[in-house]
Amino acid sequence: MLIQFNFRNFRSYKEDAVLDFTATKYTEHSGHIIEAGREKILPAAVVFGANGSGKTNLLRALKFMKNLIDDPETADELRCFGNESMQDHASLFEVYFIDEKSGKTYRYGFILETKRITEEWLDVKSRTGKQYKPVISRTDHIEISGISQAKLRKAENACEDGPVLPYCIKEYPEKFSEVSDFFSSLVFISGEDPVCTDLSSVTGKELLSYVTSFDPSVTGIRISDQDIIVERMNFEIPLSQESEGFRRMLALYPRLEDVLLNGKILAADNLGYGLHSLLLRNIIITFLHASANPHHAQLIMTTHDSRLLSNHADCLRRDEIWFASKNEAGESTLYSLAEFADEDGVKIRKDENHEKNYMNGKYGAVPQLDYIRLSDK
């Protein structure tokens, strides 16, 4: 499970950004809290903000880190903060996570300078431990606990500029299996991706149970090599002729099934694209309620749907609500409603109308608008 993700100098984020899943002492929706080892962890972080505020770049930063571990040779080129003065500055990426089976907590990160990793660390803390112990340490040279000097020299040659962790996962898979499992658990999707309905691995019965949770008028689903047929009370229709929102929900099924049944982490950009607010709320609630999410899957999602903040929606804790905001210099910042205070230093109460406050600009992270002006021709 993800506990915390930190990064800096990536795309629109110049300074340190921290996404923290650690539960605060707030009492609302206490059933959301997952106890893992000594940690109290939240299952969701929902990020609001204006267009271009940095919401997507948050997910891109996490995906960049995953890609660099999964396949260093094909990872996307690092995009530093846009200011030319930052191109030669170091970028940092760091995650804290816990393996629920062993109870071990890990801290892994690296510093990257002009396509070269200059520092890297992997530390571990046992279920009962109070201090982290180093597993991988890299500054001037590489240290890997429990590895002979001859094997360390081999690692030095193999990881001249790239990360050490992928090498360790490949060479010592059993020793680094929990770390490898964490990065494999990260699943990325975008609500704006073209609708793909490859459901070859799913049965019509499974799909029907899922579909009727949001459209009870569906009475059956037939899957063939040519098409998917949706049966309703008095007629049937090819899936290709259904609404885009219906097709998007159907296309989500394999990913949601994989994430929820295997306790993975879903990082979803603009998940509500084309979906009704109540339907999006229902997806979020599935992650928040222990009975629907017994394997402790987690959700990181971005959205423009402010109705999720309303008192009527009543689905998110204050520490599950996050905002991305960009200043006049184009620099993004990330902050939680839990750490937000007004001009007098007073924290936000749980019974405030968060949607109204947000739309009125109290929390920032909203567009600065004027009348749309068109040029004269």
pLDDT above 90 as % of the chain: 67
Same-domain status, 225 and 122: no
Domain end point (choices 205, 239, 255)? 255
| Mean pLDDT to the nearest integer, 55-68 | 95
Same-domain status, 39 and 93: yes
Q: Is residue 373 part of a domain?
A: no
Same-domain status, 158 and 220: no
Q: How many domains does the chain have?
A: 2
Helix (H, G, I), strand (E, B) or coil at 73: coil
CATH, residue 324: 3.40.50
Same-domain status, 37 and 103: yes
**Is pLDDT of 377 > 70?**
no
Q: Is residue 377 part of a domain?
A: no
Confidence at 251, pLDDT banded by 50, 70, 90:
confident
What 8-state DSSP symbol labels residue 128?
A: T
Lowest mean pLDDT among 101-105, 364-368, 372-376: 372-376
| Mean pLDDT to the nearest integer, 225-249 | 88
| Mean pLDDT to the nearest integer, 166-185 | 96
Please state, rounded to an integer, the average pLDDT across all residues of the chain. 91
| Mean pLDDT to the nearest integer, 223-235 | 85
| Mean pLDDT to the nearest integer, 183-190 | 96
Sign of the Cα torsion 244, 246, 251, 256 reads positive
Q: Is residue 70 part of a domain?
A: yes
The closest alpha carbon to 26, from 319, 371, 357, 332, belongs to 319
Higher pLDDT pick, 93 / 365:
93
pLDDT of residue 116: 86
Same-domain status, 106 and 150: yes
What 8-state DSSP symbol labels residue 188?
A: E
Same-domain status, 175 and 200: no
Q: What is the pLDDT of residues 296-317, one digit of tens each?
A: 999 999 999 999 999 877 899 9
Domain end point (choices 207, 238, 255)? 255
Q: How far apart are CA 2 and CA 324, in angstroms?
A: 20
| Mean pLDDT to the nearest integer, 235-245 | 90
Same-domain status, 244 and 344: no
Same-domain status, 306 and 279: yes
Phi, psi angles (nearest 5°) of residue 255: -70, -45
One-character DSSP codes across 235-268: -EEEGGGS-HHHHHHHHHHHHHHHHHHHT-EEEE
Higher pLDDT pick, 133 / 313:
133
Domain end point (choices 235, 255, 275)? 255
Same-domain status, 234 and 131: no
Same-domain status, 54 and 150: yes
| Mean pLDDT to the nearest integer, 266-289 | 94
Q: Is residue 176 part of a domain?
A: yes
List helix spans (H) across the chain. 55-70, 149-158, 165-171, 177-184, 204-211, 244-262, 277-288, 354-359
| Mean pLDDT to the nearest integer, 282-286 | 96
pLDDT of residue 102: 95
pLDDT of residue 84: 63
pLDDT of residue 185: 98
| Mean pLDDT to the nearest integer, 54-71 | 94
| Mean pLDDT to the nearest integer, 347-358 | 90
| Mean pLDDT to the nearest integer, 356-363 | 91
Is there a contact between 101 and 15 (Cβ–Cβ < 8 Å)? no
pLDDT of residue 101: 94
Q: Is residue 376 part of a domain?
A: no
Range of the domain at 279: 2-185+263-359
Q: Is residue 365 part of a domain?
A: no
Quick count: other Cβ atoms within 10 Å of Cβ 194?
Answer: 6
Q: Is residue 179 part of a domain?
A: yes
Confidence at 77, pLDDT banded by 50, 70, 90:
low
Same-domain status, 37 and 9: yes
Confidence at 81, pLDDT banded by 50, 70, 90:
low
Same-domain status, 158 and 249: no
Q: Is residue 190 part of a domain?
A: no
Is there a contact between 94 and 6 (Cβ–Cβ < 8 Å)? yes
**Is pLDDT of 34 > 60?**
yes
**Is pLDDT of 236 > 70?**
yes
